[in-house]
Amino acid sequence: MAISLDKLMGFHHKAMQVRTDRMEIIAGNLANANTPGYKARDLDFQKVMKSAQFAREHNLTRTNERHLKGSMQGTGDIQYRVPNQPDTGDGNTVDVQMERNAFLDNGLRYEAGMEFLNGKIKGMKKALSGGQA
């Protein structure tokens, strides 16, 4: 019986990719906190994961099990953040404190996801070695 790594870790692997992408977007926001006219951006994690789950459930990622999965890198899921603070006159919408909090929250969730995946891998290694890990 073949072990499907995609079935074992596919959803969580996608979550880690989305968290990495979100971390880069938030870091870009922080880096441009003083750039006039810069608009803060973010990624809607729930929306991206629902779309990935839908694609997986409806087998939209492959036409045949022997085909390689393709991936598209696009900015369709990146949105401009609605500012919580009044405009300072330069058109920049980055709220540094909110970005820092989002960065920390996303980082903690990333670490939790890594721990979860590590547990899955350890469990698989234990199963493959006959219980001796």
What is the per-residue pLDDT across 8-50, written as a single tens digit (0 to 9) for each? 677 788 889 999 999 999 999 999 999 999 999 999 888 888 8
Average pLDDT over residues 98-116: 95
| The pLDDT of residue 70 | 42
More confident residue, 69 or 84: 84
| The pLDDT of residue 73 | 42
Question: What pTM did the predictor assign?
Answer: 0.74
Rounded to whole angstroms, the Cα distance separating 32 from 4 reads 42
Percent of the chain clearing pLDDT 70 (strictly above): 75
What value does the mean pLDDT of the chain take?
81
Confidence of residue 65 (pLDDT cuts 50, 70, 90): low
Secondary structure string (H, E, C) spanning the chain: CCCCHHHHHHHHHHHHHHHHHHHHHHHHHHHCCCCCCCCCEEECHHHHHHHHHHHHHCCCCCCCCCCCCCCCCCCCCEEECCCCCCCCCCCCCCCHHHHHHHHHHHHHHHHHHHHHHHHHHHHHHHHHCCCCC
Residue with token string 């820092």: 100
